[in-house]
C-alpha cells in the first residue's frame, strides 16, 4: 500500500507489527487489520480574497468500519498528507476500541496554513471540503471533529454545509461544535481534562505528591493549555511551555492566568515577561516530574529519548514518541509512559457523548459529562495498567494490545462477506 507511505504511517505500522507479534495474530489477519478500509483525496478550489483561485488538497481516511461509523478529527496544517492522515486514523481505531466506543477510526486533513487564510477563505475551504466529502460521510458513516488547526467554528461551517445539502439540520454529522448548535458542554476541555486526570492517577500509582511536582508542556493549544490548568488544579507547578514560535521557562512556576491573557492578546507564549526563552529542543529535556508533549507526531526520537528528564511522559499529542525512542525509554526503565491512545482519549470520549446527545436530542449537564468521562478513562487506565504489570510489557504495548485485540475479535466474529 505505497499510497500511504510516510514516516508517521511507517511508525504506526511498526507499532502495529509489534502488537501483532505479541498477540500472535496470524499473517492473513494482519493486513486486514492494518490497512485503511477506504480513503479519499479531493482537490479543493477556492476563491482567495484577492480574486485569484487556489486549489488545496484534502484527505479523509476511514480505517475500519467493523464496530460502527468511523470517528476522528480534521487537521489543517501545511504538512498534512494522505499517509499522515492514515496513521492518525489507525491510532483512532485503537483508541476507540481501548475505551470501548462503538466506532472505527478516521482522520482527515487539508494541506494548508490556517493562520495565513482569512476567516472568509477558511470558511470557503471548509465548506468546499464538506461538499466534496458528502458521498463519504454521515452520522452513521463517518463523524468529524476538531484536531490541530481546526476548532468549533470550523465544525459549525461543516455542520451547516452538510445540513444545507440534506435540507434539514443534522447536528450529529460533526462533534466539537459550539454548544449553541448541539455541541456538548465539556467537549472543548475534554482532552486536556482527561490528560490531567490520568496524570493525577499515575502520580497516585507511583506514590508521588502532585503538590511538589513540576510539569513541562510542549504545545500550548486547546489540549496543552487545558492540561496545564488541570494539572495546576491538582497542585502541579508548570515550569515551561511552548508553541510553534518557541518556549518559555520559569523554574518557580508560570502564572497560568497571566499567561492566558498574554497568549490571547499576542497569539503566542513567546516573550512572556515572567520567564526565560527556551528552544523546543531544550524544553523537551528540561528536568521535571511530568513531561506533556501536546503538539505533533515524532517529537521524542532516538536523538533525545536518552536525555529526557521526567518521571511521567504523558502523551497528549498523537504519536509523539517514535518506536526507536520507545525502545530507549523501555531500556531506561525510569519513565512511566501514559501512551497517546489512552492519554488523549478524553476528546473522542466526549465526542461520543456529543453524538449520543445529538441523536437523542437530549442534553446532559457538565457534571454528568465529566463524571462519565472519568469513569471511562478510569476503566481504560486500570485495564492497561493491569495488563502491563501482568505481562511485564510497556503501557503502550498493553494499551495497543487491548485496542487491536477488540477490533480483531470483532472482525473474526463478523466473518468475511460474502
The residues that are catalytic are 107
Q: Provide the minimum distance between the beta carbon of 98 and ligand GLU in the complex, in angstroms, as a whole number.
A: 12
Q: How far is the CB of 174 from ligand GLU (least distance, A)?
A: 9
Closer residue to ligand GLU, CB minimum distance, 39 or 318: 318
Residues 293-312 that bind ligand GLU (CB under 6 A): none
Sole binder of ligand GLU in the list 145, 215, 226, 400 (CB under 6 A): 145
Please say which residue, 238 or 342, places its beta carbon nearer to ligand GLU: 342
CB 63 within 8 A of CB 36: yes
* Binds ligand GLU by CB under 6 A, chosen from 69, 72, 221, 293: 72
Please say which residue, 176 or 247, places its beta carbon nearer to ligand GLU: 176
Asked whether 385 and 396 are in contact (CB, 8 A), the reply is: no
* Conformational region of residue 298, where left means phi above 0, alpha means psi within -120 to 50, and beta covers everything else: left
DSSP state of 293: E
> Which residues partner with 109 through β-bridges?
59, 75
DSSP 47: E
Contact flag: residue 221 with ligand GLU (CB under 6 A): no
Gap between the Cα atoms of 286 and 30, Å rounded: 40
Q: State which residue, 72 or 293, has the beta carbon closest to ligand GLU.
A: 72
β-strands 237-243, 246-249 pairing: antiparallel
Nearest residue relative to ligand GLU (C-beta): 73
Should residue 34 be labelled a site residue for ligand GLU when binding is judged by CB under 6 A?
Answer: no
Smallest separation (angstroms) from ligand GLU to the CB of 68: 13
Q: Stretches 41-49, 159-167, 319-327, 342-350: which one binds ligand GLU (CB under 6 A)? A: 342-350
Please tell me what DSSP assigns to residue 321.
B
User: Do residues 33 and 67 lie in contact, with contact meaning Cβ atoms separated by under 8 Å?
Assistant: no
Member of 36, 69, 73, 196 binding ligand GLU (CB under 6 A): 73
Q: Does 130 bind ligand GLU (CB under 6 A)?
A: no
DSSP H or E stretch at residue 373: helix 366-391
- Kindly report the number of other CB atoms within 10 A of residue 69's CB atom: 19
Task: Tell me the HSE value of 1 on the side-chain side, using a 13 A CA sphere.
Answer: 17
Among 39, 318, 321, 388, binds ligand GLU (CB under 6 A): 318
List CB contacts of 40: < 8 A, sequence separation 6 or more: 59, 60, 61, 133, 136
Residues 164-183 that bind ligand GLU (CB under 6 A): 175
Question: Does residue 192 touch ligand GLU according to CB under 6 A?
Answer: no
Applying CB under 6 A, which residues contact ligand GLU? 71-73, 145, 147, 175, 318, 344, 347-348, 351
Amino acid at each position: 500500500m505505497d499510497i500511504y507511505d510516510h514516516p508517521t504511517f511507517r511508525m504506526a505500522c511498526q507499532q502495529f507489527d509489534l502488537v501483532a507479534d505479541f498477540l500472535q495474530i496470524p499473517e492473513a489477519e494482519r493486513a486486514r487489520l492494518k490497512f485503511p478500509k477506504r480513503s479519499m483525496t479531493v482537490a479543493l478550489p477556492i476563491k482567495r480574497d484577492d480574486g485569484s483561485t487556489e486549489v488545496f488538497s484534502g484527505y479523509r481516511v476511514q480505517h475500519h468500519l467493523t464496530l460502527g461509523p468511523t470517528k476522528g478529527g480534521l487537521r489543517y496544517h501545511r504538512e498534512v498528507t494522505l499517509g499522515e492522515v492514515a496513521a492518525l486514523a489507525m491510532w483512532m481505531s485503537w483508541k476507540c476500541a481501548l475505551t470501548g466506543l462503538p466506532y472505527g477510526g478516521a482522520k482527515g486533513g487539508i494541506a494548508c496554513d490556517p493562520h495565513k487564510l482569512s476567516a472568509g477563505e477558511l470558511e470557503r475551504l471548509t465548506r468546499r471540503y464538506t461538499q466534496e466529502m458528502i458521498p463519504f460521510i454521515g452520522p452513521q458513516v463517518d463523524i468529524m471533529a476538531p484536531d490541530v488547526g481546526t476548532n468549533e467554528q470550523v465544525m459549525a461551517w461543516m455542520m451547516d454545509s452538510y445540513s444545507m445539502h440534506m435540507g434539514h439540520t443534522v447536528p450529529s454529522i460533526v462533534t466539537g461544535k459550539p454548544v449553541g448548535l448541539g455541541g456538548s458542554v465539556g467537549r472543548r476541555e475534554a482532552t486536556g481534562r482527561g490528560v490531567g486526570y490520568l496524570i493525577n492517577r499515575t502520580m497516585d500509582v507511583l506514590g508521588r505528591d502532585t503538590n511538589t511536582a513540576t510539569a513541562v508542556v510542549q504545545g500550548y493549544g486547546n489540549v496543552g493549555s487545558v492540561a496545564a490548568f488541570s494539572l495546576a488544579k491538582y497542585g502541579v507547578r508548570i515550569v515551561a511551555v511552548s508553541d510553534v514560535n518557541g518556549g518559555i521557562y520559569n523554574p518557580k512556576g508560570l502564572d497560568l492566568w497571566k499567561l492566558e491573557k498574554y497568549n490571547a492578546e499576542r497569539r503566542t507564549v513567546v516573550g512572556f515577561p515572567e520567564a526565560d526563552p527556551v528552544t523546543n529542543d531544550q524544553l523537551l529535556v528540561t528536568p521535571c516530574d511530568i513531561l506533556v508533549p501536546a503538539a505533533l507526531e515524532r517529537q521524542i526520537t532516538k536523538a533525545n529519548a536518552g536525555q529526557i528528564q521526567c518521571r511521567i511522559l504523558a502523551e497528549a499529542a498523537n504519536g509523539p514518541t517514535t518506536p526507536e525512542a520507545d525502545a530507549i525509554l523501555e531500556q531506561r526503565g525510569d519513565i512511566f509512559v501514559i501512551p497517546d491512545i489512552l492519554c488523549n482519549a478524553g476528546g473522542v470520549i466526549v465526542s461520543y457523548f456529543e453524538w449520543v446527545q445529538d441523536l437523542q436530542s437530549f442534553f446532559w449537564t457538565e457534571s454528568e459529562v465529566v463524571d462519565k468521562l472519568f469513569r471511562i478513562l478510569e476503566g481504560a487506565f486500570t485495564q492497561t495498567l493491569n495488563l502491563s504489570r501482568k505481562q511485564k510489557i510497556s503501557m503502550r504495548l498493553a494499551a495497543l494490545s487491548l485496542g487491536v485485540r477488540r477490533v480483531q475479535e470483532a472482525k473474526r466474529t463478523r466473518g468475511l462477506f460474502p
